[in-house]
Each structure stands twice: as structure tokens, then as C-alpha cells.
């Protein structure tokens, strides 16, 4: 399955959010979309999800234009978006039930993904009884339960503490190695993007300002020369050379 983004433009009123965005994403790739707040990365994700429609251009999966949301594209949000009145297993099965899956089969499938994210002992707990990282695991399980070919993640670890975020990155990589979905992961963290992505797409001012192949085996370490090289090159794009030199001097 290939995802093609061709000459995509999107505005809200007079504000131009995306400008001539072109990307080709291959099967099973993990693409990290990186940039400052307001650069258009979340808008791009919502276009791929089918929640928004581009003004001009096209977004296609295997040559077919995206026309609204689909179970083939699962979404994980930053705030996990779990229903507080449902227990964990019911939250995961919810999408399957909406799609018409028989209740017992939906619960059975939900349990499979609960095991995948390591929370099988918490199926009868409610969201307010879980830690932030556990809630995000449930959100990932819910997104995966429908069997999507593409997993869309909008800063899913942004609200977590550093240690939990590191654990969640490793969990995500483990899941991806098992299920092999295409992943588009939006973040504002350069190091997180390099840790996770096969490629890092840098956005600035609504445009694609850089597209980097990471090329480092997992597990990835900050000390790797390529890691440091990518950090520097991406910082130069996001900050500008003059701004970066000022930060270094300070």
C-alpha cells in the first residue's frame, strides 16, 4: 500500500496552512512529520485521516483518492480520547461495534490487541484508573483493532513524562515490528522523530522543508554520528542558521 500526497494546498479563511505539499510514503514505513506549532503538520494528518478535505491537489492510497474517514486508517490522538464511562475492553471494541462486528467477536478481537499492548490485566478498569502511558496504550490498541493499513498518530506521547515517553516509543516500535503498518507520526521533538522514523519530514510555514532518511538500526542512540548529524541538519532548517548560532552562543 502506497500513500501519495500531490500538490496539496489547504487554507482556513485567509490563512494558508499547507502549500504545495508533495510526499510519497511506501508500505510499512514509519514517517515522522516534524515542525513547530502551526506549521501544518496536524492539518496534513487530518487530511490523510479524511477528517478534512484539501482545497487543491490530491491524497491517494494506491491511486484511489481519500474521500472521508476509513477503518483502513486508524488515528491515535494526543489526549487518547477514551470514553470515561466505558471500561478498557469496551473502549477498544467500540469501533468494531460501530462497524457492525458482532459483540462477542468484537470483544474477542479487542482482547487480542489488549494483550499486544501489555494491558490484559486491566480490561475491566476505567480510564481514570490508568496512568497516562496506559491510556495511550489503550488508544493505540483501539486504533489497531480495526486492522488499519495506515496508523496516524498526532503527538500521542506529547503529554507524557520523559521516562514514560521513552517506554511508549519502544512499545510502538515493537508493535510496528509485529504488525507492519504504515505509520505517520506527528511530533515537535527532533530527537523523538529520529528515534522512531524511517524518514523524518520537516515542515516549516506549511511546506515540506526537508525529507531525511534516518538510516540507523534500532535501538538508536544519541551518540551515533548519524543521529548527531540529523539533529544539526534539522535544527538548521527549523531555526535558521542565524537563530541556531545565537542559541549556541547563549
What per-residue confidence (pLDDT) applies to 159?
Answer: 80
Please name every residue paired with 213 in a beta bridge, in sequence order, or none if there are none: 199
What per-residue confidence (pLDDT) applies to 78?
Answer: 81
Residue 246 lies in a domain: no
Q: Is residue 21 domain-shared with residue 142, that is, in the same domain?
A: no
What per-residue confidence (pLDDT) applies to 240?
Answer: 67
Q: How far is CA 242 from the centre of its chain?
A: 31
Q: What would the pLDDT profile of 9-20 be if each residue is shown by its tens digit?
A: 999 999 999 999
Residue 250 lies in a domain: no
Q: Is residue 136 domain-shared with residue 116, that is, in the same domain?
A: yes
| CATH number for 64 | 3.40.50.300
Q: Is residue 66 domain-shared with residue 154, that is, in the same domain?
A: yes
The region that residue 38 occupies, defined by phi over 0 for left and psi between -120 and 50 for alpha, beta otherwise, is left
Residue 104 lies in a domain: yes
* DSSP output for 101-119: --HHHHHHHHHHHHHHTT-
What per-residue confidence (pLDDT) applies to 164?
Answer: 87
Q: What would the pLDDT profile of 104-135 be if each residue is shown by its tens digit?
A: 999 999 999 999 998 999 999 999 999 989 99
* DSSP output for 216-241: -PSSP-TTSHHHHHHHHHHHHHHH-H
Q: Is residue 133 domain-shared with residue 171, that is, in the same domain?
A: no
What per-residue confidence (pLDDT) applies to 26?
Answer: 94
Q: Is residue 99 domain-shared with residue 128, that is, in the same domain?
A: yes
The answer to whether the beta carbons of residues 135 and 79 sit under 8 Å apart is: no
pLDDT < 70 regions, the chain: 240-250
Structural domain harbouring 174: 1-72+150-236
The region that residue 202 occupies, defined by phi over 0 for left and psi between -120 and 50 for alpha, beta otherwise, is beta
Amino acid at each position: 500500500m502506497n500513500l501519495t500526497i500531490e500538490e496539496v494546498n489547504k487554507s482556513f479563511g485567509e490563512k494558508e496552512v499547507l502549500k504545495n505539499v508533495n510526499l510519497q510514503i511506501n508500505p510499512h514505513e514509519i514517517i515522522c512529520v516534524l515542525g513547530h506549532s502551526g506549521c501544518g503538520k496536524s492539518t496534513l494528518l487530518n487530511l490523510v485521516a479524511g477528517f478534512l478535505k484539501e482545497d487543491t491537489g490530491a491524497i491517494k492510497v494506491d491511486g484511489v483518492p481519500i474521500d472521508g474517514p476509513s477503518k483502513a486508517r486508524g488515528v491515535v490522538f494526543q489526549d487518547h480520547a477514551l470514553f470515561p464511562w466505558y471500561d478498557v475492553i469496551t473502549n477498544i471494541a467500540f469501533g468494531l461495534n460501530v462497524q457492525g462486528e458482532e459483540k462477542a467477536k468484537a470483544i474477542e478481537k479487542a482482547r487480542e490487541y489488549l494483550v499486544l499492548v501489555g494491558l490484559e490485566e486491566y480490561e475491566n478498569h476505567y480510564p481514570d484508573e490508568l496512568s497516562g502511558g496506559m491510556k495511550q496504550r489503550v488508544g493505540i490498541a483501539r486504533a489497531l483493532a480495526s486492522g488499519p493499513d495506515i496508523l496516524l498518530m498526532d503527538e500521542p506521547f506529547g503529554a507524557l513524562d520523559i521516562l514514560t515517553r521513552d517506554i511508549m516509543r519502544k512499545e510502538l516500535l515493537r508493535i510496528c515490528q509485529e504488525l507492519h503498518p504504515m505509520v505517520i507520526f506527528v511530533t515537535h521533538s527532533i530527537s523523538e522523530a529520529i528515534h522512531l522514523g524511517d524518514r523524518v519530514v520537516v515542515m516549516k510555514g506549511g511546506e515540506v522543508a526537508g525529507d531525511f532518511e534516518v538510516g540507523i538500526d534500532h535501538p538508536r542512540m544519541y551518540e551515533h554520528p548519524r543521529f548527531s548529524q540529523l539533529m544539526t541538519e534539522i535544527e538548521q532548517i527549523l531555526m535558521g542558521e542565524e537563530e541556531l548560532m545565537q542559541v549556541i552562543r547563549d
